[in-house]
Every structure is written in structure tokens, then in C-alpha cells.
Amino acid sequence: MNYKERQEIIAKSPISFGYLKRFNLAAGILHLMQGILMLSLGVLLEWNQPIYTFYLKFDISRTPFQVFPNPQILFTASYLGVMVASFPLISALAHFLIAYPKNKDYVENLKKGMNPYRWYEYTFSSSIMIVLIATFVGVWDFWSLVMIFVLNAMMIMFGYLMELINQRTEKTTWSPFILGCVSGGIPWIVMFAYFVAAIMSTGTNPPAFVYSIFFIYFIVFNIFALNMVLQYKGVGRWKDYLYGE
């Protein structure tokens, strides 16, 4: 489906821009309530996780000299609930922005088959989320977490680039999507390795559902990628960009 067909379908869509404005307002209120509730309960939850650096240390007192990692606590992450509350609060802010002060720009972008504000919000909210997931499975090195954050943010911005490039293409260009899958997939490979290593360290053979928990996280986290494929492949109701929106 080329850009002209996509724009024609958007122009004839039964989903009005007024409906989307109301939808975003309602979603913003819902996420704001969730965020406030999480924030209120989060301060009561005690959770402390040291975050380390693993710089090398040289021992030149021996011959030959030795090099080994020297783990040091950089800081301690606390108040898990407060950090989790940042997801719905960032989402609420994005919904309110496109429902009111940025609604005109939002509508004009939708007519072209894109929503940059969605990608701006995902860049921060999903990257914070994946860093927390990585921490849960044992990635406690600060710079590894930084790389995971940046790789995930790149994946999201490749999604933005996908929409930006395909505004005027006769044939869908999938390069940004493929590059996004690569950059976004690497953190999950790393986390799966840590997840399996943690399970194996117990010396037991856990049931299959333990592994399924990880894959459920993976599927739910990346469902937006499936939504994009359905939109650009023009599958069923996803032919209408506004339906996917």
C-alpha cells in the first residue's frame, strides 16, 4: 500500500479526529490516575538495588602484572514504585499534549500517516521500563544499563523514521523497521542470557511457565511493532492508519 492509498483511506476513515481527541483525553486521565496511585503506593514499597561499575584494576605489584574487574557501587536505586509510576505519568503527559496544545499538529501528522508524539513518548517511557526489567534479571552494571536504554531509544526512533520516510514512498521502505528490530532485539538477548543464568544458578529444573513469563514480557513490550507491520501491510482494519492509532 503506497502513501496515496494510505492518505485516501485516512481521509475517508469512520474514525474522526474529534473522537481521537476525546480518546486521548480519556486515556490521559486514566494514565494520570494510575500514575498518581502508583506514586502514592510506591513510596511505601521498600526496594534497594545497588548499581555497579566494573572498571578494570591493575595490580603491578606482581610479575607479570594482573588485570581484574573491580566492582564498585555507583549508586543505589530505590523506590521501585515511584520509577514504575513514571510510565503512566509520561504517557498521560503525551496524551494531554496531543489532545490540547499540540492537537492541530497531531491531526496534520495523522493525515500524513504518522504520529511523532507517540515516538517521543515511547523513547523515554519504554526505555525506562526496559532498564527496570534488565535490573530485575540481574543486569546491574551501570554502563550496560545505559547501552540498553540507548539501544531501545534507537529502536523507537527508527519507528519514527519509518513513518517519516514512508510519507511519500510509492512502495513501503522497511529498512528503518529492520534496523529498529536489530537495535531493539539486542537488549532482550542480553536480558534472556541473564535470566537463564539466574535460573540455572539455582541448580533446579524450573517448569516451563517460568520461561513463559519472560516471553510474555517480550511480546507485550513489543506489540507496537506488530501494530506497525499490520498498518504498512494493510491487513484488515489496519489499512486505516487511524485504527492502528
Q: Which of residues 83 and 164 earns the better pLDDT score?
A: 164
Distance CA(137)–CA(150), nearest Å, equals 18
Instruction: Quickly state the pLDDT bin for 222 (edges 50, 70, 90).
Output: confident
Instruction: Quickly state the pLDDT bin for 73 (edges 50, 70, 90).
Output: very high
Grid cell locating 149: 536504554
Dump pLDDT digits (tens) for 135-171: 988 999 999 999 999 999 999 999 999 999 998 888 8
The pLDDT value recorded for residue 113 is 87
Q: Domain span at residue 168?
A: 3-244
Residue 42 has pLDDT above 70, yes or no: yes
The pLDDT value recorded for residue 89 is 94
The pLDDT value recorded for residue 207 is 67
Residue 81 has pLDDT above 90, yes or no: no
Report the share of the chain in percent with pLDDT over 70: 97
Q: Tell which residue, 121, 222, 170, has the closest CA to residue 5.
A: 170
Q: How far is CA 137 from CA 53, 68, 131, 148, 194, in A?
A: 17, 24, 10, 13, 6
**Residue 42's CATH number:** 1.20.1070
The pLDDT value recorded for residue 204 is 65
Q: How far is CA 205 from CA 137, 212, 213, in A?
A: 18, 14, 15
Amino acid of residue 153 = A
Q: Which of 8-17, 159-168, 199-208, 212-221 has the highest mean pLDDT?
A: 159-168
Dump pLDDT digits (tens) for 108-130: 999 888 899 999 999 999 999 99
The pLDDT value recorded for residue 48 is 86
Residue 50 has pLDDT above 90, yes or no: yes
Average pLDDT, the chain: 89
Residue with cell 499538529: 105
How many domains is the chain built from?
1
Dump pLDDT digits (tens) for 158-211: 999 999 999 888 888 999 999 999 999 999 999 999 988 888 887 767 667 667
Residue 52 has pLDDT above 90, yes or no: yes
The pLDDT value recorded for residue 209 is 67
